Structure 1
Amino acid sequence: GRGRTVAVQMEKSADMVVALLAILASGAAYLPIDPKAPRQRVEYVLVDAKACLLISQPFYLCEHTDDICPSTTMAALAATRIAEETILHMPSADDLAYVMYTSGTTGQPKGVMVSHRNAVALMTEMQAWPICQGKQNWGWNANYVFDASVQGL
């Protein structure tokens, strides 16, 4: 829900897109975590972002993350009955949309918090680029841990 951050650590898939859109529809922000990230980075990011949940694929779930925040899979969530009125919230422009972490090459990774307003500004600016003019088909090539992926979502 609103004001919360939900981490997603999944390979690019339909389930990953559904997870990200469901998180946004709930009013929460998503925190993308690269499935190939070292365990130490995953743990640091989960703690630093104060993630309330980690949604992952079975082969990425580790018991150590449950000490930091609860974890689950899309299959487990799909099997859970949740009342619609408890999960759908229209976010405001200033609500957090997502948190992306820097590479951390100069020290610890830092979380960059992006509001819905700023995400829309990014997409609007990208549409003004010459390469994006006219009727274009986009491939979603960017890893979802980078801002460039937001346009594809």
Structure 2
Amino acid sequence: MLFETPRELRGVSSKAPPLDPQLSASLSARAARIAELRGWPPRTLGSVRRGIRILCAVHRPGERIRASTITQLTHTAVPANHVLEVFEELEIFLDDRPDTLDAWCEEHLSFLSSDVRTEHQRSGRIGSGAGTEHPLILSFTPQGAVAGPPG
């Protein structure tokens, strides 16, 4: 398969049997531990567990669960951000969310020439052209971000 299409969670019931019952139980227990540490109210924990049951109803054993699939749970009134917390740092979790720093740079540094933006995207640094690299310096003004070499 060349690419995977995102799962569609609309219409999936939290009452459907899990395809991986062991994973479902493990995630539910992990959610309870995180809820206790973070002070989630019982209602939030219940919603997170409902989201876990929905996810486990459509994912087979060993199949990775994408962040983009988890974020769909928002449509079912499940706090996707809390469900993401449960999955973070697990091998079955695939974080396919866009990088927020890249998105910020794209939005706020669009005034830079395409050559400078390409160099910044490649290395996160601005090259002087003579083989010496300088860190990208951002100054924040009321008009927005200003970028330039250190000075």
Greater relative CO, 1 or 2 (CA 8 Å, sep 6+): 1
**TM-score, with structure 1 as normaliser:** 0.21
- Structure number, greater radius of gyration: 2
Where is the helix percentage greater, Structure 1 or Structure 2?
A: 2
